[in-house]
Amino acid sequence: MVGFSLLLSVVVAAHVAVATPLKARTPYAVKEAHPIPRTWKPVSRAPGAHMLHMQIGLKQERFDELERHLYEVSHPDHVRYGQHLSQEEVNELIKPSEEGLDLVHEWLITNGVDKFDYSPAKDWVNIYISVEDAERLLDTEYSVFQHDDGSYMVRTPEWSLPTHLFDIVDTIQPTNSFMRAAPQKTDWIQFEEGWTPPGYKPPTNETIAKVCNIASVTLECFNTLYGTLGYKQKAVGRAKIAWNNYLNQTPIRPDIYEFLKLYNKPAAQHAWTFESVEIANGPAAQYTPLTPAQANGDDISEEAVLDAETILGMTWPQPAVSFSTGGSPPFTPDLNTPTDTNEPYLTWVNYVLGKKDLPQVISSSYGDDEQTVPNSYAQRVCRSFAQLGARGISLLCSSGDGGLGGQDDSACFTNDGKNTSTFLPAFPASCPYVTTVGATMAFEPELPAYREPGIGPDGRNHGFYASGSGFSYYFDRPWYQNGVVDKYVASLDGLHEGLYNCEGRGYPDVSAQGLYFAFFWNGTLSTISGTSASCPLMSSIISLVNDARLAKGKSTLGFLNPWIYSQAHKAFTDIVGGNSSSCGTDGFPVTAGWDPSTGFGTPIFPKLVELALK
C-alpha cells in the first residue's frame, strides 16, 4: 500500500469543488449525514471509475400491516399462528407507491441512469454506477476509507437528494454505512489435551463429565447438555437449514469431512453434498483444502467452516444450504480499492426474498457496532428480516463477542462527534425481528462466555471475549419484551443509567455454548470460540424442533421471539451469575430470568418439542 500517501496528496489537492447534480424537479438538500466511525480514516478521494452497486430503498407503503401479520402468525395464542404469508402476499404489503416509483425513475433517467433492476417487490431499485456518476447523482464526494485493521471501503458520510424525493426514498447504500459485517468469531486456538481455563470446575454429573471437555467441546457434549442426543428425525427432507457466508468466507469441504468423520461419522459424506448457493459472485463451497495462500492470507474461512461443521454435525440428515454472498458487479481489486466495498447484507436478503422455497432456519454470524450503520439503513435491513419472518423463516443472529462494546472503556464512546461514554450495541443483533443468540461457557452451571485477554494453550495471544449484550439505540423495545425486559431494567435501579437506551430492544434472546468448540480447519484439529459458534448451534436445535412440528403436520416455527417470550422461555435453562464485565464496568447483572447477557438461557430440547407440539 505504498502508493497511498502519494495518491492522497495528489488527488486530494487536485479536487476542489463538488460536482453539481445535473437536473432535478426540486433543489437538492442533504438527506442524511452519518458520522465516520473512529476506526475508519479517509485516505484518499475515491477513484471516479470505481463501480458501485447502489441500492435505493423506497418507502414500503404498508409495512405496518406486514408487521401486524408477522406478529399474528408468530404468536402461539393467536388463531392465525403458523399461517405464514406467501412471497406474493408479502410483496403486496411492502411494495412502494406507483407514483413514488415513477418519480425515482424520472430522477434517475434525467441523470443518465437508464439501467436498473429491482427487488421482487420493487421496494429496492438497484443501479450500477461509477463513483463519478454517483457523486453527481447524490451531490456528494466519495472517499476511500481505511479501517484500523487495514481494510478499505468507498463511502461518503453524507448524501443529498432533490427534496421532492425525501419522503419516497428511505435510504441509499453504499453511502454512509460503515458496517462491515465482520464474523463474530474469536481466535482459533490449537487444541491441547488436558488444558483448562483458570478457575474452571469440572462437572460432577457423570454423564456430562464423560462427554464434556472444556478444552474441546464436541457435538456429543452439546447433544447431552441440551437433550438432542438420540433424537430421531421424522420429517427428513422437509425441515431445511442454512447459514450465511460473507467476505469471501467459504466452507472448505475436506476440513468439514474430517470433522464429521471424527464427531458424527454417518454425516461425513454430507460434507461433499450439502448445497452451496453463490450470490453475486460469492465463492462456492470448496472441494479442495485451503491453499497456503488462503491459510496464511485474509480469506481463511474459519467462520464458514465453523458454521458448516456445527450445522451439519447437529442436523444431519437434514438438507443444509450454504449461502455465499459476494459483491456485485464482479469486483476487480486495484490500488485504490483492494477489497470489495459493496453492501453484501442487502444483496443477500433481496436474493432470498426473491426465492419461493427457502430453508426455514437461517443462521447468520456476522455483525458490527450499531453506530457504524445509519439508522435509516438499519431500519430497512431489519424490515427485510421481518419479511422473512412473515414467510415462516427463523433468522438467528449472533450477539457479538465484545460484551457491551469492549473490555475497557477505551472503545465505548459515541461516534457523533461528542465522544460521550456509552455501551455499544451491535447490529443486526439489535433488530427486533431476529432471534439473537448469546454464548455460554462451562457446564455445571453454564455461565456467560467470558475470557480475559491472554495467552492460550498454544502459546498464542488471544483477545478479550464476552458474549455480546445490550440495548438498541435504533430500535424501540418490541411489545413481546414487555413484562420481561422492562422488569429487568427496573430491577437495575439506575445502574448504568445514561450508558444505554433503557427503552430499546434488549438482546440476546437466548444463548448456547460458545467457548472452545472442537474445530477442524486447515487440516488441523483445534478449537474456536464466539457467538459465531453459539448461533449455528442454537439454529440447529430450532431446525430439529421444526422437524418435530412438520412430522405432526404443523407449520415451521417461523419468527421465534413471540413464542419464546410468551411460552418457550420455560424450555430454557436459566443462566445466573458469572462475569459480564465490559466497557470498564461490571456489566449488566446476570440474574434469574431474562438478562441482557444470556437472554433466557440455554435450550432444553425435549421441553421445546413438547411446547412446540402443544
Ligand X SMILES: *[C@@H]1O[C@H](CO)[C@@H](O)[C@H](O)[C@H]1NC(C)=O
Contacting positions for ligand X (CB under 6 A): 38, 205, 207-208, 224, 295-296, 413, 419, 452, 522-523, 579, 581
Nearer to ligand X, 264 or 580 (CB): 580
Report the alpha-carbon distance of residue 486 to residue 504 in Å, rounded: 10
Residues with catalytic function: 303, 307, 532
Query: Which is nearer to ligand X, 333 or 523 (by Cβ)?
Result: 523
Least Å distance, CB 296 to ligand X, is: 5
588 CB-near residues (< 8 Å, 6+ apart) = 404, 469, 492, 495, 496, 580, 595, 596, 597
Q: CA neighbours within 13 Å on the CB side: how many for 526?
A: 20
Please tell me the distance from the alpha carbon of residue 212 to that of residue 193, in angstroms, as a whole number: 13
Chain mean position to CA 190? 26
Min. distance of Cβ 526 from ligand X in angstroms?
A: 9
Least spacing, CB of residue 471 vs ligand X, in Å: 21
- Locate all alpha helices (DSSP H) within 476-530, ordered by sequence: 485-492
Decide: 426 and 540 in contact? Cβ < 8 Å.
no
Binding residues for Ca(2+): 574-575, 593, 595
Q: Which residues pair with 426 in a beta bridge?
A: 369
Determine contact, residues 280/325, Cβ cutoff 8 Å. Answer: yes
Least separation in angstroms between residue 409's CB and ligand X is 8
The H or E element spanning position 548 is helix 531-551
Question: Measured from the CB atom, is 7 or 306 closer to ligand X?
Answer: 306
Q: Which residue has the cell 443509567?
A: 497
- To ligand X, the closest distance from the beta carbon of 47 in angstroms equals 28
Residue from 364, 429, 382, 431 nearest 403 by CA: 429
Nearest alpha carbon to residue 516 among 220, 218, 130: 218
Residue with cell 448524501: 159
Pairing mode, strands 461-462 and 572-573:
unpaired
- The C-alpha angle 12, 15, 19, rounded to 5 degrees, equals 135
Q: Quote the least distance from Cβ 545 to ligand X, whole Å.
A: 18
**Residue placing its CB nearer to ligand X in the complex, 26 or 296:** 296
Decide if 448 contacts 439 (C-beta within 8 A). yes
Q: Cα–Cα distance between 436 and 395 in angstroms, integer?
A: 9
**Beta carbon nearer to ligand X, 36 or 182:** 36
Cβ burial, residue 237 (10 Å; 0-12/13-18/19+): exposed
Which is nearer to ligand X, 172 or 590 (by Cβ)?
Answer: 590
Q: Known binding site: residues?
A: 574-575, 593, 595
DSSP letter (8 states) at residue 514 = -
